[in-house]
Amino acid sequence: MMMESAANRRARIVVEFPPIITACTGIGADMQMQNSILVAILGIFAIGVGFSAARHDSAQALAPAACETLLTSILKDGRVTSATIVAPGAFTPPGSNATPASQPYAALPAFCRIAATLTPTSDSDIKIEVWMPLNGWNQKLQAVGNGGWAGTISYPAMAAALVKGYATASTDTGHSTPGASFAMNHPEKLIDYGHRAVHEMTVQAKAIVTAFYGGGPKLSLWSGCSTGGRQGVIEASKYPADYDAIIAGATPVASPRLHGVRMQFNRMVHRTPGSYIPPEKYPAIHDAALKACDALDGVKDGVIDQPDRCSFDPSAMHCKADDGPSCLTPSQVETARAMYGPVKDPKTGVTLSFPMLHPGSELNWATLAGPQPYLIASEAYRYVVFNDPAWDPASFDASTDIARLERQAVGIEPPSTNLKPFFSRGGKLLMYHGWADQQVAPLNSTTYFDAVVKESGKDAAGKSIALYLVPGMGHCQGGAGTDAFDKVAAMDEWISTGAAPKQIVASHRTSGATDRTRPLCQYPQVAKYKGSGSTDDASNFVCAAGR
């Protein structure tokens, strides 16, 4: 058995039992000098060089000194700005006026909170945080993604990871301002947002975790939805060694093209003074779509299970007399039909994108079909393409401007469909998407999944990549579908068995109470009713080939 070195033993004693050392008065001057030297060494160590600051034991409680010494850590292209112990239930997000007890953070255990600023370029200002539980670390790292144009640390997602025993990390992607204004005349910041910030955070988070626990994570997991889903897929394609497992929801795969298509989609809605459909008509359109397609799966439950196979024709709602909230004018019928169809260039008729919305999404049409274009999209043009905060969306020209953004959006290019380097390491990619997504077309995920499987071979499906479509779920969550499911537990099952779950049991909740469960199936399979038992019970469904 290898004996512990004297230096490591002294370091462990200093960190694990500092009260004992300071309380003892009989220690000789030589030992006191050795301890002082040790403390100085710990204050200047380079991140990534292993040292036994604490035993690599998930059950071992770590003393505050083990966290505080990280303040003087030497980071490559960055610096630690804060290293503090947060007491159980005491965390409050910066800028929040709420007391910890009123936050979702009240259940958090004690943890070491590290904040750092990373500067891989002279124009970079990437903020990251790394949280590490003092007790019960599961020896895993879970990094979490952002939404929209990012700009904030994802504290709620970090809290959810920490409470389950993970060390966790998040980044603001290099800016703290809302929207895309950070990108105007700052190409390096756009690259930071696009992919560099997440990669740099990942490298430093692993090093910090290694320094704190005396050993690195045995598994590194990414989890994110929307922008976080895009970040995860970019990680798999661009930095295949960063993560062992990636969970990516509602992924806007080709972001520049998507922004342009969103702009054109809104222009189509407002092509004439009478073509706009006011929100008060959405419920009637939704009810008509359900009437046409809800029962196609054999279960009438307020959810369209396979909306891509629904042939609902809005002309059935044509106003037979005066206009009203339960009917559509001829121009509005044309708009509603276009809502479900591919987006086209108005001048050439060339298809620009697959359908943005599907039957079942009607209640949330205002996101893309409201009075103004979707803000995330219009800001891409203001600050990335035209560098003009006053740019008028009315001047958007799909024939030229979509391609223009694709050329200029350096750093946020679509991910490669070649994930072989990630898969060859044993990497696993779990994707999910709601069929009623009102922001990111579900076909973003199905199209990318199909392309990856074609590139890697059909054996990759279920072994290295899996996609779960959620009927009735909106963007990342919400809607009439079973939108609540444990993605991390599903990934744990995948890792332990070597195969993606054949199904994931998901639930729908009303006022906090579960009122329906359903299996989510590996695409292209769908959940089919067995013919008996409650249709609100997942056990009465089986995953099978679609119609």
Residue numbers annotated as active site: 226, 437, 475
How many CA atoms does the CB half-sphere of 545 hold within 13 Å? 1
Interatomic CA distance for residues 251 and 450, integer angstroms: 14
Residue 382 CA to residue 396 CA, distance in Å, equals 11
What residues pair up with 129 in beta bridges, in sequence order?
A: 115, 170
Q: 165 CB contacts (<8 Å, ≥6 apart)?
A: 58, 133, 136, 137, 138, 140
The distance in angstroms from the start CA to the end CA of the chain is 62
Task: For tokens 């392309």, name the residue.
Answer: 451
Instruction: Give the number of other CB atoms < 10 A from CB of residue 410.
Output: 13
Helix (H, G, I), strand (E, B) or coil at 140: strand
Cα dihedral 128, 134, 140, 143 in deg (nearest 10): -20
Contacts of 277 (CB under 8 A, 6+ apart): 269, 285, 328, 332, 335, 336, 365, 369
Closest CA to 430 of 142, 120, 222: 222
H-type helices in 25-163, by residue range?
A: 29-44, 64-68, 155-162
Mark residue 94 as left, alpha or beta (left: phi above 0; alpha: psi -120 to 50; beta: remaining). Answer: beta
Dihedral of CA atoms 41, 46, 48, 49 in degrees, nearest 10, equals: -40
- The encoded tokens of residue 429 equal 């990619």
- Type of residue numbered 418: N
How far, in Å, are 118, 179, 183 from residue 122 at the CA level?
10, 22, 15
Closest CA to 344 of 431, 265, 416: 265
353 burial level (CB within 10 Å; 0-12, 13-18, 19+): buried
Is there a contact between 288 and 416 (Cβ–Cβ < 8 Å)? no
Place of tokens 């922001």: 439
Smallest Cα–Cα separation from 309: which of 319, 320, 294? Answer: 294
